[in-house]
Amino acid sequence: MSTATAIPIICLLVAIYLAVDPFNRSPLSEFQDYKMVKVEMPSWSEVPVERDSENRLRKSEIKFLNQVQGPESLAFDAMGRGPYTGVADGRVLFWDGEKLSVFAHTSANWSEELCGHKPSILEYVKNEHICGRPLGLRFDKRNGDLYIADAYFGLMKVGPEGGLATSVTAEAEGVPLAFTNDLDIDEHGNIYFTDSSTIYRRRQFVQLSVTAEDSGRLLKYNPATKETVVLVRNLQFPNGVSLSKDTSFLVYCEGSRGRLSKYWLKGEKAGTSEAMAILPGYPDNVRTNENGEFWVAIHCRRTRLGHFLGSNLTFRYLWLKLPFTPKHPNLQGIVVKYSPEGKILEILEDNQGEVVRAVSQVNEIDGKLWMGSVLMQFISVYQID
């Protein structure tokens, strides 16, 4: 067979394979009705180019190595004790200054046999819907209750003494919460939180990431009326949320878009949202410091391939028909501090992930940055210069 004859035949066979996926090897083979959504990417020239040439995060101290698995969110109580952190086995752990102990569970069905220690963080995923997966954590400063965004059980809370968390809300306007992610609480006890998707659960985060589907929501729970309402719809993988220092607005992250946005709570713009900043990579949580600045945790920087596939549905569809699960981009350590106006104030990095990587959240506490990671087995602490 000549080359001129072989090439069209090979192209035809590849096209048939991509269309049919006969061996069900593509990452979306189990989802027959998935929808690809275009991501409105900024032009590449708009992506921030600032870097930390000194890789200062490499100076971080590693704490609780192999004692915490997947500590996505960190919280400190009104007395400054902590951190408290939710881990991959469904528990919330508490560091009292001397030892780690179990503070809370989100599942009444938690058991050591089903949910206990496993060699790899990914091995917990298959039982998350039973054991629970606590993500965002926040204390209500008025009474010491700890509120928990559990990916499977919705918005929950537990009292200052800990124990089994109880449900606060598991739906919004008749639609169940499918992937509760992060939260913040205002001075009146109103809770603002994100539901990353109404279609995919957390254990399907790969599918959510690659389809960029847009059923995510920003929500508000009113404790006086016990109502949950949708503030913003059609978000693409919303995750972190944090109130401004004066509570006039909140900021939230969209993972698929790599964007930080504002939602106005007070003033002439109340009830409206607007873009705040284009991020250098794909974010997780955001936290406000005492100065009213915002620390954003970045899992990894944008790549040219990811940027291209985000806005080109045909190529993304073909790419996802290939018989392999896309690998996670190189896990770096990146945290970025923003002004309330959306200006970059500081970037700290470990660009090869030698010490810090895949940061999920960063809290500025007493001159230190405490960093959690949903993928790692430790907490990182950086002493601010």
Half-sphere exposure in the Cβ direction for 198 (13 Å, CA) = 17
Q: For residue 236, report the phi and psi dihedrals to the nearest 5 degrees.
A: -105, 100
Percent of the chain with pLDDT over 70: 90
Partners of 362 in beta bridges: 371
Q: What is the mean pLDDT of the chain?
A: 91
| pLDDT at residue number 314 | 87
| pLDDT at residue number 326 | 58
Span 283-304, mean pLDDT? 96
Please say if the pLDDT value at position 28 is more than 70.
Answer: no
Q: Which two tokens stand for residue 135?
A: 């993500």
Q: Under a CB-based contact definition with an 8 Å cutoff, are residues 371 and 362 in contact? A: yes
Please say if the pLDDT value at position 282 is more than 90.
Answer: yes
Span 48-76, mean pLDDT? 97
Please say if the pLDDT value at position 23 is more than 80.
Answer: no
Span 215-219, mean pLDDT? 97
- DSSP three-state, residue 203: helix
pLDDT classification of 12: cutoffs 50, 70, 90: very low
pLDDT classification of 7: cutoffs 50, 70, 90: very low
| pLDDT at residue number 18 | 38
Quick: pLDDT tens for 149-190: 999 999 999 999 999 999 999 999 999 999 999 999 999 999
Q: Which two tokens stand for residue 80?
A: 């400054």
Look up residue 280 and give its DSSP letter: S
Please say if the pLDDT value at position 206 is more than 90.
Answer: no
Q: How far is it, in rounded angstroms, from Cα 145 to Cα 228?
A: 19
| pLDDT at residue number 210 | 87
Q: For residue 307, report the phi and psi dihedrals to the nearest 5 degrees.
A: -65, -45
- DSSP three-state, residue 4: helix
Q: For residue 319, report the phi and psi dihedrals to the nearest 5 degrees.
A: -60, -40
Span 278-297, mean pLDDT? 97
Quick: pLDDT tens for 113-143: 999 999 899 999 999 999 999 999 999 999 9
Q: How far is it, in rounded angstroms, from Cα 209 to Cα 162?
A: 33
pTM above 0.85, yes or no: yes
3-state SS of the chain? CCHHHHHHHHHHHHHHHHHHCCCCCCCCCCCCCCCCCCCCCCCHHHCCCCCCCCCHHHHCEEECCCCCCCCCCEECCCCCCCCEEECCCCEEEEECCCCEEEEEECCCCCCHHHHCCCCCHHHHHHHHHHHCCEEEEEECCCCCCEEEEECCCEEEEECCCCEECEEEECEECCEECCCEEEEEECCCCCEEEEECCCCCCHHHHHHHHHHCCCCEEEEEEECCCCEEEEEEEEECCEEEEEECCCCCEEEEEECCCCEEEEEECCCCCCCCEEEEEECCEEEEEEEECCCCCEEEEEEEECCHHHHHHHHCHHHHHHHHCCCCCCCCCCCCEEEEEECCCCCEEEEEEECCCCCCCCCCEEEEECCEEEEECCCCCCEEEEECC
Which residue did the predictor score with more confidence, 269 or 385? 269
Neighbours of 14 (CB within 10 A): 13
Strands 100-105 and 163-164 come out as: parallel
Q: Which two tokens stand for residue 104?
A: 């809370």
Span 223-228, mean pLDDT? 97
Residue-level length of the chain? 385
| pLDDT at residue number 13 | 35
pLDDT classification of 6: cutoffs 50, 70, 90: very low
Please say if the pLDDT value at position 367 is more than 50.
Answer: yes
Half-sphere exposure in the Cβ direction for 378 (13 Å, CA) = 12
| pLDDT at residue number 278 | 97
